[in-house]
Amino acid sequence: MAPNGFRQLQLNFSGVGCWLTLAIVFGLVTTVGIGWLLKSLLVLGILLFLIPVLLIIGTQFWLKRNLVEGACPSCSQPLTGFKPIPLSCPNCGVALQAKTGAFTRVAPEGTIDVDVVDVEAVSTQGQSADDVTTVDVDILPPADT
């Protein structure tokens, strides 16, 4: 160390920031008043309460208008979906669209949509020939497109 050198002056200001902030807040409160601070906290509290309530009410309203619950028209599987979004049945794989509160099958233009008919098989053993009805079914070839 150089004995003839300048002696450095070191000051420690570590606690001054807290006191300075406290002094500024105290000065604002005494000159402007505390009413603005209380009103601001009241408005902030009301907003913190009202915003989630309004979001919940708005979401419930939107879901009531856009959520459709019904059954698949092909297999009667219970489904839930949104009106504008097409979906497929997880049970039978049929493409569906929600319209007017129910699900309908999505078919390309020109397709004839038919309903499925369940037929129970009955044993014909032991019955007379008059009780048995024979049904002939013609299978049409696929249409050329």
The model's pLDDT over 84-135, given as tens digits with 9 standing for 90+, comes to 888 888 888 888 888 777 888 887 777 776 666 677 766 666 666 566 677 7
In a domain, 91, yes or no: yes
Number of domains within the chain: 1
In a domain, 130, yes or no: no
Question: How much of the chain exceeds pLDDT 70, in percent?
Answer: 72
Q: What is the pTM of this model?
A: 0.45
**Burial class of 77 by CB neighbour count within 10 A (0 to 12, 13 to 18, 19+):** middle
In a domain, 1, yes or no: no
What are the start-end ranges of the H helices in the chain?
16-32, 35-66
In a domain, 99, yes or no: yes
In a domain, 14, yes or no: no
In a domain, 125, yes or no: no
Q: What's the rounded Cα separation, in Å, for the pair 78 and 89?
A: 9
Domain that holds residue 70: 22-105
Q: What's the rounded Cα separation, in Å, for the pair 52 and 10?
A: 53
